Amino acid sequence: MSAPTPVLEVEDLRVRLRTPRGPADVVNGLSYSVGPGETVAVVGESGSGKSVSVLALLGLLPRGVATVTGRALLQGEDLLTMPPERLRQVRGPGAGMVFQDPMTSLNPVLTIGRQLVEGLRAHSDMDKAAARRRAAELLGEVGLPDPDGALDRYPHELSGGMRQRVIIAIALSNSPALLIADEATTALDVTVQAQIIDLVEKLQADHGTGVIWITHDLGVVAGIADRVLVMYGGRCVEDGTVDDVLEHPAHPYTRGLLGALPDLAQPAVDGVVPDLATVPGTPPAPTDLPPGCVFWPRCPVRGDARCETEQPPLVQIGPSSGALPHRAATWCTETSALGTESSGEAR
């Protein structure tokens, strides 16, 4: 699955934020790569460091607050050490980004056309008229009805789904090698969500774009991803091909996430639908991470003496179905030691 030269190669990415309650280690040693045409899904709860880890790549975290270390090679160039002007040139043609909330991610006082045109013109010497024509083309590509008319519309005149298409058009306007979708469909209803996913897959097939898809929706992951990376407490706790991770989850946290999926096939007992399984508790505060396994405070298994005190490394576990190793960071690799994860257990 992974191509010889990855579009993006992240090594030991760490992000530390300065907060009033002391330094917060939001991302702690994240490594992954994205090949051309490949989709990597990054999964985790709110606060697991998913968004921060990608914002850090493009230098979009607030200045003076975040310290980012590690390496992030985009087509061979390190994003984290490049001079600001080079980084500006890379934003757009190198990596386009789609943000979570279509309602706030567009400038309310500028027309759609203007917001597309300025992005195009920042990276080429296109004249205004040419950029406008290209903008209309792009809006057509993302399936916006009446692209020419839409150029003169303001964001508030479009629905959420349409705005998200505009944001995708902006992200794709400079044909990026990498597309980062940060919870791009979370704020949309399910039918629109499916359309947007189709759209990204189609564009990906046409342009060979590598995609990082950040989400907490495992249904989306199953539909779109080649590879999955599960994040918890700023660490990667499990990664592998989508089949390996979703069908043979090894980390207790991944199992918990999958157990928390509602199962429509499960029959109601005496007319009562079983409660959803949940992972009890909340993620650890990044200012105060546990010394051992990050998941230990909430873990239902705790099957090893080292869980509390020693941080488990991310190692290959068991056989892998695809070309990628299936890795997990847990001491509890014995399947027998892990409880069953069926959602009926919550009763």
Partner 1 sequence: MGVSVIVFALVQLVPGDPIRLALGTRFDQETYDALLERSGLDQPLVQQYFNWAGRALTGDLGVSFRSGETVTSLIAERLPATLTLAFASIVVALAIAIPLGTVSALRPRSLVDRFATVISQFGISVPDFWMAIVLILVFAGTLGWLPSGGYVPLSEDPLGWLQRLILPALVTGTVSGSVITRFVRSSVLEALGSDHVRTAQAKGLRTRQVFGWHVLRNALLPLVTVTGVQLAYLLSGVVVVEIVFSWPGLGQLALQAVQARDYPVLQGAILLFAVVFLVINLVVDVLYTAIDPRIRR
CB 189: neighbour CB atoms within 10 A? 10
Using the minimum distance from each CB to partner 1, give the nearer residue, 46 or 335: 46
Q: In this structure, are residues 180 and 212 in contact, taking their beta carbons and an 8 Å threshold?
A: yes
Instruction: Choose which of 150, 170, 211, 218 interacts with partner 1 (CB under 8 A).
Output: 170
Place of tokens 């190198």: 94
Query: SS3 helix, strand, coil % of the chain, rounded to 5?
Result: 30, 20, 45
Residues 148 and 153: their CA atoms lie apart, in Å, by 10
Using the minimum distance from each CB to partner 1, give the nearer residue, 161 or 256: 161
156 contributes a contact to partner 1 by CB under 8 A: yes
Q: CB under 8 A: which stretch of 74-82, 85-93, 126-134, 305-313 binds partner 1?
A: 85-93
- Minimum distance from residue 169 beta carbon to partner 1 (Å): 11
Residues 173 and 88: their CA atoms lie apart, in Å, by 15
171 contributes a contact to partner 1 by CB under 8 A: yes
Residues 89 and 134: their CA atoms lie apart, in Å, by 19
Q: What angle do CA 27, 31, 35 make, to 5 degrees?
A: 130
128 contributes a contact to partner 1 by CB under 8 A: no
Instruction: Choose which of 33, 39, 53, 105 interacts with partner 1 (CB under 8 A).
Output: 105
- Minimum distance from residue 215 beta carbon to partner 1 (Å): 18
Instruction: Choose which of 24, 30, 151, 167 interacts with partner 1 (CB under 8 A).
Output: 167
**Given the DSSP bridges, would you call strands 39-43 and 227-232 parallel, antiparallel or unpaired?**
parallel
- Minimum distance from residue 12 beta carbon to partner 1 (Å): 24
213 contributes a contact to partner 1 by CB under 8 A: no
Longest dimension (CA), the chain: 68
Under the rule (CB under 8 A), what is the footprint of partner 1?
55, 58, 60, 62, 88-93, 96-97, 99, 101, 104-111, 118-119, 122-123, 154, 156, 167, 170-171, 173-174
